[in-house]
Amino acid sequence: MISAWFLSDLHLKTMQERRSEQLLRFLTFLADKKAPATHLYLVGDIFDLWVGDHDYYDEKFGPLIEQIRRIKSNGVKVIYFEGNHDVHVKRYWESRHQIPCYIEEHYDQLGPHLVRIEHGDLINPNDEKYLKYRSFIRQPHMERLAHILPARLIHWLGDRASKQSRKRSSVKRRDSESELRQMIRVYAERTFEKEPYDLIVTGHMHIRDDYTFESRGRKVRSVNLGSWFDEPLVFHLTDDGSEWISVESLPA
CATH number at residue 42: 3.60.21.10
DSSP character for 248?
A: G
Number of domains in the chain: 1
Count H helices and E strands in the chain, helices first: 9, 13
**Per-residue confidence (pLDDT) for residue 142, from 0 to 100:** 72
Q: By C-alpha distance, which of 85, 64, 46 is closest to 166?
A: 85
pLDDT, tens digit (0-9, with 9 covering 90-100), for 199-209: 999 999 999 99
Cα distance between residue 91 and residue 99, in whole Å? 10
**Per-residue confidence (pLDDT) for residue 183, from 0 to 100:** 95
H/E stretch holding 158: helix 151-168
Q: Count CB-CB contacts under 10 A for residue 14.
A: 10
Evaluate the CA torsion angle 186, 187, 192, 198 in order and state its sign. Answer: negative
- SS3 for 129-157 is HHHHHHHHHCCHHHHHHHHHCCHHHHHHH
Domain span including residue 177: 3-249
DSSP character for 104?
A: S
**Per-residue confidence (pLDDT) for residue 170, from 0 to 100:** 44
pLDDT, tens digit (0-9, with 9 covering 90-100), for 21-54: 999 999 999 999 999 999 999 999 999 988 888 8
**Per-residue confidence (pLDDT) for residue 71, from 0 to 100:** 99
